[in-house]
Structure 1
Amino acid sequence: MLPRTITLALAATILSVVPAPRASAHGSCTSSAPFVSGTEGYHTFRIPAVVRAANNSLLAFAEGRRDSPGDSGAIHTVAKTSHDGGCTWGELRVVDSNGEATAGNPTPVAARNGDLVLLTVHNGPVSEKAIMSGTVSPQDSRRVFVRRSPDNGRTWTPARDLTATAKLPSWRWYATAPGHATLLHHGRHAGRIIVPANHSSAPPAGSADVGTEAKYYGGHDLYSDDNGRTWHIGFTDDPTDGVLAPNETTATELSDGTVYFSSRNQGSAPENRLDAYSTDGGRTLTRPYQVQPTLSGPKVEGSALQTTNRRVLLYSGPSDPAVRRTMQLRTSSDRGRTWQPSTVLADAPAGYSDLVQPDPFTVGVLFETGVTSAYEKIEFRRLPLYPRPSPVKSPA
C-alpha cells in the first residue's frame, strides 16, 4: 500500500493554481503547445488526443481543420511526437485524410504487442445535422477506420474500413471517443482494447421525428482482443427519452479491471455528465448511463484517467457550468462515484482535453485553450502526480 503522504501529494498539488507556463530543462518543463491555430497550413487545430508509445515517447493527435474552425470540410488527423515527456515536439505529420472532406476523431491506444492502434471517423462534405437526418449517401455518412503503427508512430499502415462491423445499419451519426482508447491490464480481459463511442439512431417508422432530436443519441463501445485487428460492438445504451443522451465518451480501467465510462450528456437534464461501469470488459454495462451530479461543466467532451496510483482517478474538462472555460482537473477517491475540484490549469477559454501519464511521477493534459477563444492552440501541461525520489548519494 502506498504511504498516505504519497497518496496525498497530488491533493497538495491541486489545492493551488498551476504556475504560469515556463521553459525548462529536458523532461522537467511545465507547458508546451504542440498545435497552434493559423500555423503549419491549418486554420484551426481541434480535438486533442494523446498516447504514450511502447518506447515511452508521447504522440499528440489533433484534427487539422484546413479552411475554418467548422466541424465539416477538409479536416485531417495530424500528429506530433515528443521524446522528452511533452516538453518539445517533432514535425507535424498527416496520419489520415479524406480529400476535401473529414477524417477526424482520433482515438489512439498502445496495444499489448507494442503497436499503436488509431481509430478515426470519416464523412463527406456534409453536416452532422444532415447525417442525423438520414439525407446523405452511405459514402458521405460516418464511417469508421483503423490503422496501425509498428514503430511508435513513425509509419502507419493504410486505413482499413471497419464500418460493416463497428456500426449498426440503423445508426446514422457515429463518433469514437475522441481521446485515448483503453488497454485493459487486469482481470480475465487483460489485453483487450476498449474504444468508447457514440451514435445516433434512425426514428421508428411512422414517426414525425427527423432524427436530429437528442433522444436519438446513444452510447456504445468497441472492443478488440487481438491487438486491434478484429473488432466487436460491446454494450449499447439508447435512453430515447431526450433527458439523458450519451455523446462524446471517455473510458478508463480501474484497478480491479472495471471499466469506467464518462459521457457528455446531450440531453435536456441539467447535469451535463453521465457515467456508467462495465465489469465484463465492455460487453455490457452494470447499469445504464446515469447523471453524474458532482462533475460540473458545460456540454463538452472530457477525459478520464486512472493513474498508476490506484487511489488517484482523474477527470479533465472545463468547469464553468455555462461556457467552455476554466480547464480543471477533478479527482475521485471512490472509483468515480463522486468528484472533487482540483487543479485549475487556466482561468481562460477551454474546450476538449485528453489525459496521459508520461511517467510514474507525472500527469499530462492535452487541451484546447486560448486568450479569447478556446481554439487558439492545443496546449500540453505537465503536473506532478507525486514527488520524484531524491538521488541517492554515495557515502563520503
Structure 2
Amino acid sequence: MTEVTVPFRAGQDGYACFRIPAVVATGARTLLAFCEGRVDSAADHGHIDIVLKRSTDGGRTWGPLQVAAGNGENLAGNPAPVVLDTGRVLLVHVRAAATATEAAILRGQVTDADGRRVWVQHSDDDGVSWSAPREITAQVKKPGWRWYATTPGHALRLSTGRVLVPANHTLPPAGTDTGAEPRYNSGHCLLSDDLGESWYLGYTDENTDGYVNVNETTAAELPDGRVYFNTRNDSPAPGNRADAHSADGGRTLVKPFRPQAGLTTPVCEGSVLQLRDPDLLLYSGPADPDFRALMTLRASTDGGTTWRPAFTADGLPAAYSDLVRVDADTVGLLYETGDFSAYETITFRRVPVHRLT
C-alpha cells in the first residue's frame, strides 16, 4: 500500500473548492503543496487565491493553510513554483479580474488591465513567508495575446541555472470578426537567466490549422540536457497529448509539437518528472480515454518517445496532477480526486520508486 494524505478538501478552510495542484521540494526537503483556493465555487474565475500547505516529513502530515498569493477579491492562479540553487522559491502565476471569464477573454471583451497578467514573487524561508508580487507581463506576454496561463504544475530549474516556465496563450482570430473566440490555443515558455530577476519568451508554437492544439504544458530536463515538453491536446490529432523537445534550453523546439498517442488519457492536464537515479521519465494523468478517472503514472526510458504503465493509484475520478521527487526512495503525486467527483480533494500519495521500475 502507498501512503496517502489529503492536504486540501473542498468546503474547508473558507474555500468552496481547491484546484490546480503544484508541488516542489525545497533544499531543506520541505514539501510545498500549492493550489488554487476558489472561494465561492469551482468556477475558473471569481475570487481565487493561491494557497499553500507545508510538510516537513515527506508529505505524511501537513501544516496549516497559508495564502501564498492573493489578489483581493480577484483572481491569483495557475501557480508555477520552482526552487533555485540558492534555496529561494519562485512562484510565477497569473492574475485577473474576478469578472474576467475565459469566454469573455477569448472574445476580446476584457481590457488588458482586467485580463490575464503575469506576476512573480519569492520565499527565502522555505515557504513560510512571501515577498510582495512583481509584475512581469510586459516581458512575457505579446500585445494581442488574449488567454494566458502558466503551466499548471511546477516549473523547471535547468542544470544551466535557467528557469523555465511552460505556458499557453491564444491569438486573436484571423479575419474581420475580431469579437469571435479564437479556435486554437498556442504554446510558449517563459525563461530567466538571472534567478527570476528578468524574463523573456522562449519558443512559441502557434499551430493555427488545429491539428495539434498546444494547451496546458508540463516539462522536464532529460539526462542529455534536452528539455521534454508534454501538452494537453484538444484537437483532431491521434490521442489527447502532444510532445516536443528543445535542444537549447527552451529557446526553440527541435520540431513543433506532434501527437503522442502512446499516452491514453482524456483531455486533461498532466505532469512529467525526470528521475536521475533510476533514469526514468514519469508522466502522471488519468488513464481512462474518455473520462477524468484512473490516475496512473506512466514511465519512459527513451526521452518520451514510448511509454508504459508503471503505477495506478485507484479507479476513482481524477483530474489534474503534479509530480515531485520526495527522496531517493519516493516520488510524490499531488492530484485532484474524489469518490464521486475529481474535485472533492487534492490528495498526496507517496509512491515508492521501486514500484515504478
TM-score normalised by L of structure 1? 0.87
Mapped contact 2:33–2:54 kept (Cα < 8 A): yes
Equivalent residue number for residue 136 of structure 1: 110
Equivalent residue number for residue 163 of structure 1: 137
Partner AA of 1:49 in structure 2: A
Q: Deviations over 1:114-170 (max 9, x none)?
A: 100001111112211110111111111100000011111111110001100010002
Partner AA of 1:251 in structure 2: A
Are 1:103 and 2:103 counterparts?
no
Separation in structure 1 between the aligned mates of residue 167 and residue 199 of structure 2, nearest angstrom: 13
Mapped contact 1:121–1:142 kept (Cα < 8 A): yes
Mapped contact 1:145–1:159 kept (Cα < 8 A): yes
The alignment partner of 1:347 has SS state of coil
Mapped contact 2:293–2:316 kept (Cα < 8 A): yes
Deviation at 1:112, TM superposition (A): 1.9
Separation in structure 1 between the aligned mates of residue 217 and residue 278 of structure 2, nearest angstrom: 22
Mapped contact 2:213–2:233 kept (Cα < 8 A): yes
Are 1:278 and 2:276 counterparts?
no
Mapped contact 1:326–1:349 kept (Cα < 8 A): yes
Equivalent residue number for residue 50 of structure 1: 23
Deviation at 1:310, TM superposition (A): 4.9
Equivalent residue number for residue 264 of structure 2: 296
Mapped contact 2:108–2:178 kept (Cα < 8 A): no
TM-score normalised by L of structure 2? 0.97
Please, which of 146, 150, 169 is the counterpart of residue 199 of structure 1? 169
Equivalent residue number for residue 158 of structure 2: 184
Deviation at 1:59, TM superposition (A): 0.1
Separation in structure 2 between the aligned mates of residue 48 and residue 211 of structure 1, nearest angstrom: 31
Separation in structure 1 between the aligned mates of residue 123 and residue 77 of structure 2, nearest angstrom: 17
Are 1:325 and 2:299 counterparts?
no
Deviation at 1:244, TM superposition (A): 1.0
* Consecutive unaligned residues in structure 2, runs of 5 or more: none
Q: Deviations over 1:47-71 (max 9, x none)?
A: 0000001111000001000110111
Partner AA of 1:110 in structure 2: V
Separation in structure 2 between the aligned mates of residue 310 and residue 259 of structure 1, nearest angstrom: 18
* Consecutive unaligned residues in structure 1, runs of 5 or more: 1-18, 22-29, 388-396
Separation in structure 2 between the aligned mates of residue 278 and residue 135 of structure 1, nearest angstrom: 35
Alignment of 1:304-319 (within 5 A): 304-319=272-287
Deviation at 1:339, TM superposition (A): 0.8
Equivalent residue number for residue 214 of structure 1: 183
Equivalent residue number for residue 34 of structure 1: 7
The alignment partner of 1:354 has SS state of strand
Separation in structure 2 between the aligned mates of residue 113 and residue 257 of structure 1, nearest angstrom: 21
Change (3 A) 1:310 1:257: farther
Deviation at 1:212, TM superposition (A): 2.4
Q: Deviations over 1:354-384 (max 9, x none)?
A: 0000111110000000000000000000111
Separation in structure 1 between the aligned mates of residue 45 and residue 341 of structure 2, nearest angstrom: 19
Deviation at 1:209, TM superposition (A): 6.2
Mapped contact 1:203–1:211 kept (Cα < 8 A): yes
Deviation at 1:243, TM superposition (A): 2.1
Pairs aligned (count): 354
Bigger Rg, which one: 1
Mapped contact 1:213–1:242 kept (Cα < 8 A): no
Alignment of 1:1-396 (within 5 A): 19=1, 30-124=3-97, 125-185=99-159, 190-204=160-174, 206-208=175-177, 210-215=179-184, 217-386=185-354
The alignment partner of 1:386 has SS state of helix
Mapped contact 2:232–2:267 kept (Cα < 8 A): yes
Partner AA of 2:151 in structure 1: A
